[in-house]
Amino acid sequence: MTAYVKVLLHAAFREIAGEREILEEVGSGSTLKDILGRLGKRYGKDFNEIIDSETGEISSEVLVMVNGKSVRRTDIELRDKDTLMITVPVGGG
């Protein structure tokens, strides 16, 4: 049986991909870094910049949530029916 995560795209990421929701296949041991890497190959530069090349973590200029929880680490294992959301944080004032 094939497993999928739902990727919800907001703001600039939605515009770049031309979609608001993507289903990505995950296998045993698939991590957030794996999925973000695939999206980077498919959609290009802006998606590649989600991961900070110096730290290997999520860039401070991007908000990534897994199942409603904000994450910075990319070694998180994803499972069937997880929901991943990618957006740009909004500042308040």
For residue 10, what is the domain's CATH number?
Answer: 3.10.20.30
Q: Which of 77, 86, 78 is nearest to 24 (CA)?
A: 78
Give the mean pLDDT of 51-76: 94
- At residue 93, the pLDDT reads 59
> For residue 92, is it within any domain?
no
**Model pTM?**
0.90
Asked if residue 61 lies in contact with residue 13, where contact means CB atoms within 8 angstroms, the answer is no
DSSP H helical ranges for the chain:
11-17, 32-43, 45-48
Structural domain count of the chain: 1
**Is residue 35 within 8 Å of residue 79, measured between CB atoms?**
no
CA 82 to chain CA centroid, nearest Å? 11
- The 10s digit of each residue's pLDDT in 7-21 is 999 999 999 999 999
Q: Is 65 in contact with 12 (CB distance < 8 Å)? A: no
Domain that holds residue 28: 3-87
Give the pLDDT confidence score for residue 68 in this predicted structure.
Answer: 98
